[in-house]
Amino acid sequence: MKQSYARAWLAAICSIGAAPAAMAAFGTDYDAAVVKIERGHYADALPLLDAVIEDVPASQKRVRLYGVRFAPYTPYFYRGLAHYRLGRCEDALRDFLHEARFDVLAGRNSEAMAQADADCRARLPAAQVPLPAVAETSPPPADALGALVAAYFKGEYSLVASYDPAVLASPAEQAQAWLYRAAAQYTLAVLAGDDAATVVEDVQASLARARRDGKLPAVDLSLFPPKFVKLATTSP
């Protein structure tokens, strides 16, 4: 069974052009984007930041980028700063709002974001442009499943990856919980720079538990990392 899971995982990642090394590229891409912004190459940094946000959509206090290189992961701040420096205040404010949701930015970067945010907010009303708003992407934690979903979108991946969906009474809720658990396991693997062989069993097992009658739960898959969605929708 483990071998069949491994074959399915490898086939899925190969089908989207993502060899095992693609996971490790997350850290180097993020680091390269930060360097480009520090050097004033704002437009060049944007594609890299778009890519890493697709892989890991929540800011983190500390991640391993590669080897022994650890750093805070605050991609919305850097993308917002790039937009700000390029004169795109609406895009900048939208990213700053996203970054503030995770509450991990600190020090000079926090001050820089506050200054850029204030400058953009002063400019936009003068230009009669409405301030951007960020739509809620997860339900309020009014119940156990809601709390799990909220934890996922807050970037609490370790908590979600270790959650036991069996504690939920409804089979439909259990299926959703297994899907979020699989997504969290996948994202933790990306953050760790692990290759396919080290993540195949847990992620595929969670995806298998998420399916009911061969189908994934009816949730908005666009909220998950695109590579994970490709894996989830192509795996048996």
Check: CB of residue 73 under 8 Å from CB of residue 63: yes
Check: CB of residue 134 under 8 Å from CB of residue 98: yes
CA pair distance 233, 76, nearest whole angstrom: 27
- Listed in order, strand segments (DSSP E) in the chain are 60-66, 69-73
Summarised one tens digit per residue, pLDDT across range 61-82 is 888 777 777 888 999 999 999 9
The residue among 176, 128, 117 whose CA lies nearest residue 148 is 176
CA pair distance 208, 27, nearest whole angstrom: 29
Q: CATH: 3.40.605.10, 3.40.50.2000, 1.25.40.10, 3.20.20.140. Which one for 21-126?
A: 1.25.40.10
Q: What is the pLDDT of residue 90?
A: 92
pTM above 0.85, yes or no: no
Check: CB of residue 6 under 8 Å from CB of residue 200: yes
Rg (CA), the chain: 19
Q: Which residue has the higher pLDDT, 227 or 140?
A: 227
Per-domain residue ranges of the chain: 2-18+137-234, 21-126
Max distance between CA atoms of the chain, in angstroms, equals 63
Instruction: Give me the amino acid identity at 7.
Output: R
Query: What would the mean pLDDT of 154-176 be, rounded to a whole number?
Result: 89
Q: What is the pLDDT of residue 24?
A: 52
Cβ-based neighbours of 182, under 8 Å, separated by 6 or more: 203, 206, 207, 210, 228, 232
**pLDDT higher than threshold 90 for residue 112:** yes
Check: CB of residue 31 under 8 Å from CB of residue 66: yes
Q: b vs e for 140-178, b when ≥16 Cβ sit within 10 Å of the residue's Cβ?
A: eeeeebebbbbbbbbbebeebbebebeebeeeebbbbbb
Mean pLDDT is lowest, of 74-83, 85-94, 197-206, for: 197-206
For the stretch 136-145, contacts whose Cβ atoms lie closer than 8 Å and that sit 24 or more positions apart, written own/partner, are: 137/223, 138/223, 144/168, 144/173, 145/173, 145/176, 145/177
